[in-house]
Amino acid sequence: MNVHAGQARSQRMSMGAAMLRVLLTLLLFFVVFIPFLIAPLLALGAGYLVYFVWRSRGSRTRSVTPGSPTATSASGFGAGTS
């Protein structure tokens, strides 16, 4: 019976397998991590859009056309020249 106490055979990966592993790691990084960075920006953008639309609907005033008889100006440019 022989006992071999030498170093174990080193496990080497081929160049193609190493590149595939790197590409797979980068792909998983982009698929998992990047949406966590983009999702808050999208949520803030959607919230601002809702706020902008809601504010423009609520604060919109009905303006009187300049030629109508109810639009008499009591002050401002030309108010005292009658």
**pLDDT value at 81 more than 70:** no
Reported confidence tier of residue 25, pLDDT bands at 50, 70, 90 = very high
For the residues 23-37, what does the mean pLDDT come to? 93
* Strand, coil or helix: 58: helix
Q: pLDDT tens for residues 44-64?
A: 999 999 999 988 877 766 565
Three-class DSSP category at 77: coil
- Could you give the CA distance from residue 74 to residue 80 in angstroms, rounded to a whole number? 8
**What pTM did the predictor assign?**
0.40
Residue 71: predicted pLDDT: 53
Over range 69-77, report the average pLDDT. 60
